[in-house]
Structure 1
Amino acid sequence: MWRRALLVISTLLITSLFAPQSSAEPVAPSVAPTEFRFFGSGYGHGVGMSQIGARGQALEGKSAAEILTYYYPGTSVTPYPDNQLIRVNIANLITSITMKAVGGVGEIRLFRGDIPLSESPEPFGTYKGDTTALFTNFAGLVVPQLSSPTTKFAAIPGNQSWTLRWDLPTTTIEVTNKTEVNQYKYGQITIKSNANAVTSYLSVTTTLRLHDEYLWGIGEVPSSWPAAALEAQAIAARTYALAKVGRVRAECDCNIYNSTFDQNFVGYSKEIEKIYGIKWKEAVNRTFIDENSALVVTIDGKPISAFYSSSTGGATQNVKDVWGSSITYLQGVPDPWSLDTTINPRFAYWERVVTQKDLATAFGLPDVLTYRIDSRSKTGSIMSITAASTDGKVATLTGEIFRSRTKLPSTWIKDPVDLQLIRERVICDNTRRYAKKFCYE
């Protein structure tokens, strides 16, 4: 029988993470810790524009173009056609969703099927503005159920998809998905029964103009931010969306998601934010060239893949260190604004606790006794991290997968620490392969 490697720790009573290690090395407990504490900086994947960095540069007087060409080296901010329609998923993998008209007194119209926005067939039904529509997925069909304080409705047979349109500029559609409520003013909404290998579900999309109607609903940053930061965000969001309009993804029946899986879109809810909502719309409008084109980040005359995230650990990522591909304009640049607690109070420096269960699940291990950071990028973010269980199993994850599974804010994470800021070590037993990964020469 192979012998178990002897695990030891050096308990360290220090005031900073970089203090000298204690010479005492008591034997580590044989029981896995109940939780692990992580310290780090930044929020998000860190590739491309830093939103906090954009805010910081705007406060220093930089223009939107200067901000964007800083974070996307070698690019230009130029006019580009953006009059395409974009199909945005606003709810997915759900069984039901509720919609009703708010504001105005217009009618709502229901159409069988997935109707292109450019077509105007006869509707299945036209209903008063006080009508509420509940759409439910049943046996691969979408079944509408209508209700109103003034009208009784007959049952409506299911269909594979339905399209909803509404009247009057003052009318908006309020969409309730569980506890999330948003308003949509432009375009139309499609409710479709979708399916994957496991189950059927609803995919709900809105189709609208990218140029203005979509951009007005982007909810990525506070509308109270400086004008140049808002304009930079609008241009980055437009550029990102342009790369998505050419393909409908089957799993969401969409070009783009409304979440941070792509970029956060909240529809008309962004425009009607108290006090500052109009400032975002004005910032978007300032990036227009004419009715069919606007400012876009380009290289060789074509829109780039304009990735961005909230903040970093002091420098943006080289995309190759995160997703494995090499792109000239997605190289790391200094981002000191992200470490400024006055403009990034929540994520300049953060602390999180991950439970034993959650960390073990992230690594796919029965438990986690210890872990170590195997490698870092030039910016200090984790590229590889390995954990060992009490029974000698090990598992290794990339930094980005580790961040995603543990739901930690970023991969800019300090060296392993326990609740008392301990530094872990393992004395190797060369007869056990798993221990070699944890050796310190």
Structure 2
Amino acid sequence: MRISSRAISTLAVTLFISLLSPFSADASAPAKFVFTGSGYGHGVGMSQYGAKGMAMESATSAMILSHFYPGTSLLPGDDTQLIRVNVGHKQRDASLTIKSESGTVTLIRGRFLINRPVPESAVVGSYSGDITISMTSIAGKIEITRSSKLAKFSSLEPDDDWTIRWESETVVTLRTAARNYLLKYGQLNLKRVANDVGPGEMEITTTLRLGDQYLYGLGEVPSSWPEAALDAQAIAARTFALSKLPSIRKACDCHIYSTIRDQNFVGFGKESEPFYGIRWRNAVDRTRNQVIFFEGKPIQSFFFSSSGGMTQNVKDVWGGKLAYLVNRPDTWSVNVAINPRYAKWRREVSQAVMAKAFELKDLVRYQILERSITGSLLKIRGIDSEGREKILTGEQFRSRVALPSTWINLSGVTADGEPEREPPSEQVIEICLDLFRFSQQRRE
């Protein structure tokens, strides 16, 4: 009898779910839930620990990129454009500090693009020494105050927009409620954002040259990593940034966010790291103008920390289809010697967090409904003590309960934090994965 690839795939899914989905006839809500798994991040595109592992095996940056973005081309591309980076999203308060040895800062009323001349009437003043400029969204405007141990300043009328510039060798510290930045390049723009209640908020952006000033400040991977991994990261980051041009996103008054929502921009602190900072700067310079293209355009070069052994197909995570964002082997991510922190992980999630994630009264149990060919979670159902149910996608669940990834190898649900039963052996899990792979080969 000939068994169809569909039947094999169904068998594999059923076996996975039966092994990895907890169940209980007890209607009481447990105190905590236990999850173990592998990997960190969404799983789409280039695995950063995969790139590190390949580099340790002497792969070049071009080999790394062609592996994780199949069918693409590495070609020269223009990266001299300016890019506007949001460094303070929906902020109420922020401050900018300059120390006496750092140079001069100029405060300008209104909004002026970088490198554009400013009329003298708009310049409030230029300041040096130990000074702090505080920015507060209040009464529908942005209020600026200046303070120093050595001088007193008069108050300023609030305004909708402000521009702050500094000399080329000046280094300033921007502090927001979310994070702090050391900034050397570019300028700051403050824009008032109205809301329905309260004093409003502001968007804080910095505008930089993409190809060097922006990329120098990306803190995506340790600068101590192998050169090929750093080069691959620099090229992927450059390509991702180019894919965000030229449109300004209204929600952030920017091309790109400074957080992992897009790319982790930390500013001058990255290249000024003791000893290692120059290695990242050299990677950016070494790969200047190198861009990943597909069908004539820079690709959406997503990347993430590490996977559960194989990267995700974009359609399984966010929907849609991109020929270069497909499943790719990534055994390096589950190698403890390469990825000691996330090759294997264990997390305990409280009853309150689980119930809130599913938007239910409480959570008695859950069922894993669907997994991808990589073994990552695609759909999960939560059930409360009154029998009500809610289904979440794997990404929704990961985000809401703060799990490192959707590669959940073992899950348990107990009152004392211990697993309900022994996990399936590695051999049994490998059988499941082999069935998945075999079914895919038959389809091809």
Superposition TM-score, scaled by structure 1 size:
0.87
User: Are positions 1:157 and 2:157 aligned together?
Assistant: yes
Aligned to 1:89: 86
Secondary structure of 1:192's match? strand
Aligned to 2:287: 287
User: Are positions 1:120 and 2:117 aligned together?
Assistant: yes
Counterparts of 1:325 and 1:299, CA distance in 2: 16
Cα deviation, residue 144, structure 1: 0.5
Letter in 2 for 1:31: S
Cα deviation, residue 415, structure 1: 4.7
Counterpart contact for 1:372–1:415, Cα < 8 Å: no
Q: Deviations over 1:291-321 (max 9, x none)?
A: xxx0011112310000010000000000001
Q: Deviations over 1:160-183 (max 9, x none)?
A: 1111011242x1111112473220
Counterpart contact for 2:37–2:410, Cα < 8 Å: no
Aligned to 1:188: 187
Q: 1:103 to 1:39 in 2, by over 3 A?
A: farther
User: Are positions 1:254 and 2:254 aligned together?
Assistant: yes
Q: Deviations over 1:362-417 (max 9, x none)?
A: 11101000001000000000110001000110000010111111111101113541
User: Are positions 1:377 and 2:372 aligned together?
Assistant: yes
RMSD of aligned C-alpha atoms? 2.0
Aligned to 1:9: none
1:265-414 correspondence runs (5 A): 265-288=265-288, 294-414=289-409
Superposition TM-score, scaled by structure 2 size:
0.86
- The farther-off stretch of 54-63 and 94-103 is 94-103
Letter in 2 for 1:164: I
Counterpart contact for 2:34–2:418, Cα < 8 Å: no
Counterpart contact for 1:47–1:316, Cα < 8 Å: yes
Cα deviation, residue 90, structure 1: 0.7
Secondary structure of 2:101's match? coil
Cα deviation, residue 139, structure 1: 1.6
User: Are positions 1:175 and 2:174 aligned together?
Assistant: yes
Counterpart contact for 2:99–2:128, Cα < 8 Å: no
Counterparts of 1:320 and 1:129, CA distance in 2: 54
Counterparts of 1:128 and 1:265, CA distance in 2: 26
Counterparts of 1:41 and 1:389, CA distance in 2: 28
Secondary structure of 1:297's match? strand
Q: 1:196 to 1:287 in 2, by over 3 A?
A: farther
Counterpart contact for 2:72–2:292, Cα < 8 Å: yes
Q: 1:189 to 1:27 in 2, by over 3 A?
A: closer
Counterpart contact for 1:194–1:251, Cα < 8 Å: no
Secondary structure of 2:77's match? strand
Counterparts of 1:254 and 1:79, CA distance in 2: 25
Secondary structure of 1:375's match? strand
1:216-235 correspondence runs (5 A): 216-235=216-235
Q: 1:103 to 1:45 in 2, by over 3 A?
A: farther
1:206-245 correspondence runs (5 A): 206-245=206-245
User: Are positions 1:52 and 2:49 aligned together?
Assistant: yes
- The unaligned stretches of length 5 or more in structure 1 are 1-16, 289-293, 425-441
Secondary structure of 2:260's match? coil
Counterparts of 2:410 and 2:380, CA distance in 1: 10
Cα deviation, residue 198, structure 1: 5.5
Counterparts of 1:104 and 1:231, CA distance in 2: 34
Counterparts of 2:110 and 2:405, CA distance in 1: 42
Counterparts of 1:330 and 1:65, CA distance in 2: 17
Aligned to 1:106: 103
- The unaligned stretches of length 5 or more in structure 2 are 1-14, 423-444
Counterpart contact for 1:373–1:416, Cα < 8 Å: no
Secondary structure of 2:28's match? coil
- The farther-off stretch of 266-275 and 117-126 is 117-126
Counterparts of 2:410 and 2:92, CA distance in 1: 43
Q: Deviations over 1:211-253 (max 9, x none)?
A: 1000000000000000010010000001101111222122211
Counterpart contact for 2:109–2:162, Cα < 8 Å: yes
Which is richer in helix? 2
Number of aligned residues: 398
User: Are positions 1:40 and 2:37 aligned together?
Assistant: yes
Counterpart contact for 2:99–2:129, Cα < 8 Å: yes
Letter in 2 for 1:190: N
Counterparts of 1:103 and 1:73, CA distance in 2: 51
Cα deviation, residue 66, structure 1: 0.7
Aligned to 1:6: none
Counterpart contact for 1:89–1:206, Cα < 8 Å: yes
Aligned to 1:432: none
Q: 1:168 to 1:82 in 2, by over 3 A?
A: closer
Counterparts of 2:195 and 2:217, CA distance in 1: 29
Counterpart contact for 1:195–1:251, Cα < 8 Å: no
Secondary structure of 1:74's match? coil
Q: Deviations over 1:91-134 (max 9, x none)?
A: 11221101012463522101111211131213222122322100
Cα deviation, residue 196, structure 1: 4.3
Counterpart contact for 1:223–1:279, Cα < 8 Å: yes
Percent identical pairs in the alignment equals: 48
Letter in 1 for 2:182: Q
Letter in 2 for 1:298: F
Counterparts of 1:328 and 1:349, CA distance in 2: 30
